[in-house]
């Protein structure tokens, strides 16, 4: 009976302590929850999430197909153009100096520029009338007479002495499909100044200079390939 009495006394003494511990635990949880809510509200109101803007190269429509009276070269397959790694990261590139490459964190390409340049080259070649047919290279299937490959070497904004310009450099090479003999190769570099210092204006100027570079390459190819083709007949 004495032991039972002592046990009841101990439980009666511990009951208030247990109640206080439960209350304090509940208060701590509530305080933590309120603190987290305040922190979340503050973070979302003071630093809103920013999503990237996407830009696409926009080229002028290719010229009408030119009817060449002289001999037309055979079929052509065009490989997708290559580029340096820094142009394949998705972000628009700018150069604060000649030695430095930087990326816009929130201004990105909607389409891989290599693909866009390849398609523009194909459109201009189809319009030129130089070749009997112009198609994408399909991994060796089919039997094209010639294969065109190229590299988008530069597509950057240049920042120098407070001025902004763009640089575009494209190289291309034409080889025979059977032997790999180089029939023609050339490089075209263009620079231009955007009419405004905005990303949209810079991308528009890049589009113009890419169009100009591709046009120069197609003209150079025509001047080289057609005389050779005519002499071989």
In terms of domains, do 78 and 62 share one? yes
In terms of domains, do 92 and 6 share one? no
Q: What is the pLDDT of residue 13?
A: 52
**Position 43 pLDDT exceeds 50:** no
In terms of domains, do 42 and 106 share one? no
In terms of domains, do 72 and 34 share one? no
Contact (Cβ atoms closer than 8 angstroms) between residue 166 and residue 205: yes
Mean of all residue pLDDT scores within the chain: 82
The number of domains in the chain is: 2
Q: What residue has token string 């528009």?
A: 204
Given 3-state DSSP classes, what are the helix, strand and coil percentages for the chain, each rounded to the nearest 5? 40, 30, 25
Q: What is the pLDDT of residue 73?
A: 86
Q: What is the pLDDT of residue 231?
A: 52
Contact (Cβ atoms closer than 8 angstroms) between residue 166 and residue 107: no
* CATH number (domain holding residue 87): 3.40.50.10610
**Position 18 pLDDT exceeds 70:** no
In terms of domains, do 30 and 74 share one? no
Contact (Cβ atoms closer than 8 angstroms) between residue 197 and residue 162: no
**Phi, psi (deg, nearest 5) at residue 69:** -80, -30
**Position 91 pLDDT exceeds 90:** yes
Beta strands 100-109 and 53-55, pairing class: parallel
Tokens of 198: 């905005």
Taking residues 207-212, report their average pLDDT. Answer: 97
**Which of 16-20, 45-49, 55-59 has the least mean pLDDT?**
16-20
Q: 37 is in which domain, residue-wise?
A: 1-49
In terms of domains, do 92 and 170 share one? yes
In terms of domains, do 130 and 28 share one? no
In terms of domains, do 7 and 112 share one? no
**Position 67 pLDDT exceeds 80:** no
Is the model more confident about 131 or about 231?
131
């Amino acid at each position: 009976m004495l032991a039972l009495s002592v046990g009841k006394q101990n439980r009666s003494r511990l009951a208030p302590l247990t109640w206080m511990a439960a209350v304090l635990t509940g208060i701590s949880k509530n305080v933590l929850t309120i603190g987290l809510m305040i922190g979340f509200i503050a973070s979302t109101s003071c630093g809103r999430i920013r999503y990237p803007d996407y830009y696409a190269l926009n080229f002028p429509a290719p010229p009408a197909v030119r009817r060449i009276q002289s001999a037309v070269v055979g079929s052509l397959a065009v490989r997708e153009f290559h580029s340096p790694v820094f142009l394949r990261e998705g972000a628009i590139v700018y150069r604060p100096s000649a030695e430095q490459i930087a990326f816009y964190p929130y201004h990105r390409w909607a389409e891989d520029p290599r693909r866009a340049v390849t398609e523009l080259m194909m459109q201009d070649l189809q319009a030129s009338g130089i070749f009997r047919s112009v198609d994408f290279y399909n991994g060796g299937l089919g039997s094209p007479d010639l294969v065109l490959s190229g590299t988008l070497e530069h597509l950057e904004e240049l920042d120098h002495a407070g001025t902004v310009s763009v640089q575009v450099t494209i190289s291309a090479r034409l080889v025979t499909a059977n032997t790999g003999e180089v029939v023609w190769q050339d490089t075209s570099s263009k620079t231009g100044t955007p009419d405004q210092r905005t990303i949209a204006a810079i991308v528009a100027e890049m589009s113009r200079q890419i169009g100009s570079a591709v046009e120069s390459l197609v003209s150079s190819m025509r001047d080289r390939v057609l005389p050779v083709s005519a002499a071989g007949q």
